[in-house]
Structure 1
Amino acid sequence: MEDNATPHRARLTNQFLEQEGISRMLWPEPDGAFVGTFKVPGRQEYQANNKKGHVVNLSKYKLNAAQTSVLTKGLNYAISPSKIPAEEFVLATELACKHLPLADGIQLRAKIANTLKSSKVPEQNVTKEERKAIKDLKKAEDIIILPADKGKSTVLLDKVEYEEKVNTMLGDKKTYEELPADPTAKYKRKLVSALSKLKNEGKITETKYKQLYPTAENVPRLYCTPKIHKPNTPLRPIVDYTATIGYSTSRWLADILGGLVGNTQHHVKNSKQLAEDLAKVVIEEEDILNSHDVVSLFTNTPIDQVLEIVKNRLEKESLLREYNRDTGFKITSEDVVHLLEFILTTTYFTFKGKIYRQLFGTAMGSPVSPIAANIFMEALEQQAIATAPLDCRPKLWLRYVDEILEVIQRDSVQQLTDHINQVDKSGSIKFTFEQESQGQLPFLDTLIVKKDDGTVKLLVYRKPTHTDQYLNYQSHHPLHQKLGVIRTLYNRKNTIVTEDEDKVEEEKKIQEALQTCGYPKWSFGKVKDQMESVKPKKSAKKTDDSTRSRGMVVLPYVKGVTERVSRVMKKYNVSTAMKPHNTLRRELVHPKDKRDPNNLTQAVYKIPCLNCDLSYIGETGRKFGTRLDEHRKEVKKVNSTVTTRAGRKESLTTVNKSAITDHVVDKNHVIGWGTLRSLARNKNDLHAG
């Protein structure tokens, strides 16, 4: 709901206002009741041994014991909050109330408030020294902390070296060019024109148009992850497209075009399907296992070929007709290709204040990029297989995106490699290969092992960069998420590993790795019992208004508090999900250019009063800076007209646009414009409905 909607009169109380939407609410600040005593459990000790390369320090910065201890926990380690994040619970409650009847909303607010006031902060899971270590690492301006490209290691690089490598990459004139000015406004006009045309021609609905309309105007941001498994630690470029003009359209195109992928006999969806396909394979004595891998698929995908392939397939296949039938839309293949061309040819981003455009290929980070690359690879492989000379044609060809598994005659690998490297007429797509070694070949997360009879068995494959670092059990995550780590690894064992004795060994490895991460022995038995007692899902029953779900909200996780809040919301048929309140990644990993907070859209924000403990919590779908200016102007206008007692008395009966203006008029208080802050960066942070 837009936050300058129908004006009304807000009545302030010590708890909550009657429901008129989140932007009308003023909630009391948390008082002393939210503050509890806490201690660091005595079990915590520094674990600075950095097992299995959890921390890879490639910088000149010397880590002390506490800093190493912190980083060894992993970047997904959630830090216990030192106070209850009441504002986030308030925000989630308001989002839930939008989907409730008025009376239910009032009750829910009261119950949540009582729950929060009786809550205590949880025990702390970092020591005093580790908290200081986090602060010191945040202040270290000469280093940059990043997740490794593979393996979950935490990597420290000298910032100067990192930026030099990125600038060297951006200096490739065939792939990138620096732009003299920000093209966002121009690109936005072009996209809005295309979307408006679809709406005006009745090809999409008004609702879909509003969903796709680019309210955000942020420039995409480049960052890179270090490939520590390769010489000289090259970087993998990734572009953050969230909250940018083309993000929603890119997601929509990915939804539409996703149906074009995975319909060939050579496509591998996941490791489970791979295991099923390989169960039928018998390898002859003259054959070997071999794999091919595309070099930098995303940045080398030829866009013109992608557009041509998509257009031809949409015209020949029934996908688009079925999509229009299901949605009521009337979009054509030309419409889809036009939007796809816009998204794929307007790849631009900022790095260190400069703006660049990608001249070739797709960008890793855009939702539609993996789909576009996959569509191209399907067409390429069909041509490669059909035109391969008979003496080097593989007996088995299975592909997962840019990785191909083959069973082929031992002496034909180089001939096949030469052939497939000539198929792409643009010359940008090149393959490397890896042959089996001692009858074994890794592919995806499996290790394929040839047996004496020509059949194969499968094991779980761990790359040389694998660290056995999983979510630390002391991380401030909900218990069900920690047990989910065990369940995921057990499911992988059951899905991939083909022989019973190997399953026993794999289970031992899982337990050893997780016990190193702090998981107690009872947790493994609990998960096994849960998995064995899983019952088949029953068909959904028809629900009436009293049991129908009224949306979903995301709650910050605070042990002992979030569970109680979740139970309260469940009584009102509001579903909940839990997310960590704060993690080491959020504290320490900041490789992207900072965004101007005034350009935030879909923002939820808080403006405090300087004279009392009340705060205004609002949301806007437009630019945060624009909405803030409206607040200021309205308050300034009211203050300039209310100069006498009679004038102020008259103003109390005037209907203003927001509760913040009502509060200024009613109490004659001063608003803390300089201390306002954003509570959620966009609607993706919190969900409702």
Structure 2
Amino acid sequence: QAAKELLELSWTKILSQFNLQSRTQAPPTKFAPPTYLTDVKLSSATEALLSKGPKFAPDLPVSKVDHLAAIHQVAAVMPEQERQEFLGAATRSVCYHPAPRPKASVNIRSAVAEIREKNLKLLQADKTGGFVVIDDEMYKMKAKAAVEKNFIAIKKRPSGSLRSKLKELCVELNLPKMKNLVTAPANQYLQAFFAAKTHKPDVPLRTIVSERGCWQKHLATFLQKHLSEVHPLQPYRIKNSQELINALEPVHTGAPNLDFFSLDIEDMYYNLDIPILLESVEEAITEHGICSFQNSSGVPLSGFLELLQLYLKSTMIEHEGKIWIQKSGVCIGSCLAPILSEIYLSYVDRTIQVKLKNTSPECTVVRYVDDYLIIHPVASKVEVIVASFESAGGKLKFKKEEPSSEGLQFLDLRLKKTNEGVCWAFSQRSEKPVLPFESAHSKTVKIGIIKTLITSAKTKSCQHSATDSIKSQTRRLMSSGYPVERLVSVFHQLINPKATTKTPFSRRIASIPYIHNASHRIRSIASRYDTKVVFSSRFKLASMCNMINRQEAKPACEKKHAKPFRACCTEKVYSIPLKCGAEYIGQTGRCINDRLREHENEATSRTDNPIHPIAVHANDCIGCAPDFEGTKTKGGHRNRHGREIIESFLIQNAENNVSSASVTLSRRELEFIRPEIEKYRNSP
């Protein structure tokens, strides 16, 4: 108790003495440049941009349409009786207080163009954060080696036999919704991308798959949903560092004759034995209760296992024009990989537990994902302990790590052996820097980062290490550009917390892109109408990797239209000219040819009482007909609400329009966006 009181006093003293004199000691904000695996260097401007890291969100210009789109996006989740009142209040606030212009211009396109012109590729570092710049030839060589490590090339490109088999199985198991979902996606194979292992010699690449846009995603989601309800007995698993601290408390003092080391499973996902994995899943479901599992999933156990086996056979990727099938295990990037590995390791843990009871009963073992921490008496034979793990793991390979002079890193704690026992201090697991303060994230996110790091340093460190841990996290924050005034303000909040009432839970939640000076106003107004607003980043530098590394531009449309009216494009506001001089203005997020085909079918259908505006107009205007081939785009927006706003503006300002607007804009909104949209009115 005395030690804890001393810790509280030291914590208060450290933070209270952290005043403005620290400003003179603050190091200048300078970020490490990207890692170069090539002799070609980038310009200073591009290098400075990449040095801020993949999670950095640059402060990009925001259009006035974006402002109104955010308001309408929040209004869409509100009931009709509250929507108009919210729209009026939020529109007044945003129109009178628009977002200021960015302080510094950031040209993403020029940086992407420079990297492409120099024939370079851009990757994210696997554990250390930051970017890796590599030339195209070395990228292909390392990517091929990474793929060949865990995949085998197929000589003959397989057909869609697996998908056909899945559809037959869906019919047999009475899963019509699943059948429709797996029929729709156009992609037959998973897509692979790579991360650079900068923490290893020669910087090899790690292969990660993406299920986005593939039929496997829907099958994996179904399997994941029902496997997440299965909770097998796991004797060693811990969920977080707090559970690790609970295990360390008994050996903190009064245990001088203890030692520890860790065992890491190498490439765990790819080394899972499939037959043993399927047996483990079946046993876990049996322990959970077959009847309850079958009732919740709607399929028998044998059918569920058949679906799982089919998914594991379908993890094929397309790379460099070839099809590769996985050798064994589960792909990194699969949404099923974490839960399948936990079920697999639950039975490995039980086997290890039995072996250690016979050979080293005094050992304390905990596991977090694929890392084991073993605390044992000094007199124990380490080789016997390691042998117990290796014999129980089957094909799994374990890598041993001994404590260094700085201790042993496990989870987000740094463990050190002392004369009394084991001490621990909060320390980040990787070398990734803190999110730079100048990133275009909301102030709520940045304050949350400060509170999380400092609170973790206090609560996740023993009383012997808390002071040094707090100072270490403070230095990290200052090196990432966090101003001392902001740190002092948050520190005072932590020292003297104010009593706050818990905000009642709101069932209505809307997510909008963060816009400086506007998003917080929208959130404040929405809270009056029992609606919670959360923010997302509009753009992060990590997106540059895909922009640079993709071999060719993504086609605007993957369909082969039987009757294309014009060049394919998506997310556009369009105008269909009529023979009499009128026009039909509309918007679509799909390919414009799909929407024009639907217009043609509805406008030319012979009915006595047509409801399509073009057909209604044709009945009143003799000889008038639409010219679908002459359709022009009048603007575009990624967000549906943004397109509807542009559409509404054009309709309300059109001289002879036959369509109706999706939303009605007030005079204030029309004048707010007029200078921005006028340029679209006569664009080709």
Q: What TM-score, normalized by structure 2, do the two folds share?
A: 0.75
Number of the residue aligned with 1:294: 265
Alignment of 1:20-169 (within 5 A): 51=31, 53-84=32-63, 86=65, 90=69, 93=72, 96-97=75-76, 99-102=77-80, 104-105=82-83, 117-118=95-96, 120-127=98-105, 134-140=111-117, 142-169=119-146
Alignment of 1:402-413 (within 5 A): 402-410=370-378, 412-413=381-382
Q: What CA deviation, in whole Å up to 9, does each residue of 1:173-228 have, x standing for no partner?
A: x7322364365x4443333444444446xxxxx8x759965643334211111111
After TM superposition, give the deviation of residue 578 of structure 1 in Å: 0.9
Number of the residue aligned with 1:29: none
Alignment of 1:398-477 (within 5 A): 398-410=366-378, 412-425=381-394, 428-438=395-405, 440-453=407-420, 455-462=421-428, 466-467=431-432, 469-477=433-441
Partner Cα separation in structure 2 for residue 535 and residue 213 of structure 1: 51
Q: What CA deviation, in whole Å up to 9, does each residue of 1:560-618 have, x standing for no partner?
A: 12223334444444432211112222235544566545359xx9833333889997444
Number of the residue aligned with 1:363: 331
Alignment of 1:265-664 (within 5 A): 265-281=235-251, 287-318=258-289, 330-388=298-356, 390-392=358-360, 395-410=363-378, 412-425=381-394, 428-438=395-405, 440-453=407-420, 455-462=421-428, 466-467=431-432, 469-499=433-463, 502-531=465-494, 533=497, 549=507, 551-590=508-547, 591=549, 596-599=555-558, 605-609=571-575, 616-619=586-589, 624-625=590-591, 628-636=592-600, 651-652=615-616
Secondary structure of the equivalent of 2:208? strand
How many residue pairs were aligned? 587
Partner Cα separation in structure 1 for residue 161 and residue 492 of structure 2: 58
After TM superposition, give the deviation of residue 369 of structure 1 in Å: 0.6
Secondary structure of the equivalent of 2:391? coil
Number of the residue aligned with 1:191: 166
Amino acid at match of 1:387: K
Secondary structure of the equivalent of 1:377? helix
Going from structure 1 to structure 2, the CA distance change for 1:349 and 1:573 (only over 3 Å counts) comes to farther
Which ranges of structure 1 fall in alignment gaps of 5 or more residues? Answer: 1-46, 201-205, 542-547, 643-647, 656-663, 681-689
* 1:80 and 1:558 in contact (8 A); partners too: no
Secondary structure of the equivalent of 2:517? coil
After TM superposition, give the deviation of residue 462 of structure 1 in Å: 4.7
Secondary structure of the equivalent of 2:263? strand
CA RMSD of aligned residues (A): 4.0
* 2:416 and 2:422 in contact (8 A); partners too: yes
Partner Cα separation in structure 1 for residue 64 and residue 599 of structure 2: 29
Partner Cα separation in structure 2 for residue 654 and residue 496 of structure 1: 74
After the TM superposition, which of the residue ranges 81-90 and 580-589 deviates more from structure 2?
81-90
More relative contact order, 1 or 2 (CA 8 Å, 6+ apart): 1
Partner Cα separation in structure 2 for residue 82 and residue 349 of structure 1: 38
Q: What CA deviation, in whole Å up to 9, does each residue of 1:241-295 have, x standing for no partner?
A: 2232122432343343234457433111111111111112368655420111111
After TM superposition, give the deviation of residue 349 of structure 1 in Å: 2.0
Amino acid at match of 1:161: M
Amino acid at match of 2:340: A
After TM superposition, give the deviation of residue 378 of structure 1 in Å: 1.7
Secondary structure of the equivalent of 1:421? helix
Going from structure 1 to structure 2, the CA distance change for 1:650 and 1:291 (only over 3 Å counts) comes to closer
* 1:392 and 1:413 in contact (8 A); partners too: no
Secondary structure of the equivalent of 1:491? helix
Partner Cα separation in structure 1 for residue 37 and residue 452 of structure 2: 32
Amino acid at match of 1:155: V
Partner Cα separation in structure 2 for residue 230 and residue 110 of structure 1: 57
Partner Cα separation in structure 1 for residue 223 and residue 614 of structure 2: 54
Secondary structure of the equivalent of 2:101? coil
Partner Cα separation in structure 2 for residue 267 and residue 652 of structure 1: 67
Q: What CA deviation, in whole Å up to 9, does each residue of 1:340-382 have, x standing for no partner?
A: 2222221122223433221311011111111111211121121
Partner Cα separation in structure 2 for residue 255 and residue 390 of structure 1: 38
* 1:70 and 1:133 in contact (8 A); partners too: no
* 1:344 and 1:362 in contact (8 A); partners too: yes
Amino acid at match of 1:226: A
Partner Cα separation in structure 2 for residue 79 and residue 614 of structure 1: 38
Partner Cα separation in structure 2 for residue 324 and residue 279 of structure 1: 42
* 2:67 and 2:94 in contact (8 A); partners too: no
Going from structure 1 to structure 2, the CA distance change for 1:162 and 1:303 (only over 3 Å counts) comes to same
Which ranges of structure 2 fall in alignment gaps of 5 or more residues? Answer: 1-26, 560-568, 607-611, 641-684
Amino acid at match of 1:342: L
Partner Cα separation in structure 1 for residue 629 and residue 70 of structure 2: 24
* 1:125 and 1:475 in contact (8 A); partners too: no
After the TM superposition, which of the residue ranges 344-353 and 584-593 deviates more from structure 2?
584-593
Partner Cα separation in structure 2 for residue 597 and residue 182 of structure 1: 26
2:648 equivalent to 1:671: no
Q: What TM-score, normalized by structure 1, do the two folds share?
A: 0.74
* 2:618 and 2:625 in contact (8 A); partners too: no
Partner Cα separation in structure 1 for residue 485 and residue 81 of structure 2: 44
Number of the residue aligned with 1:686: none
Partner Cα separation in structure 2 for residue 577 and residue 430 of structure 1: 43
* 1:299 and 1:362 in contact (8 A); partners too: yes
Partner Cα separation in structure 2 for residue 92 and residue 304 of structure 1: 53
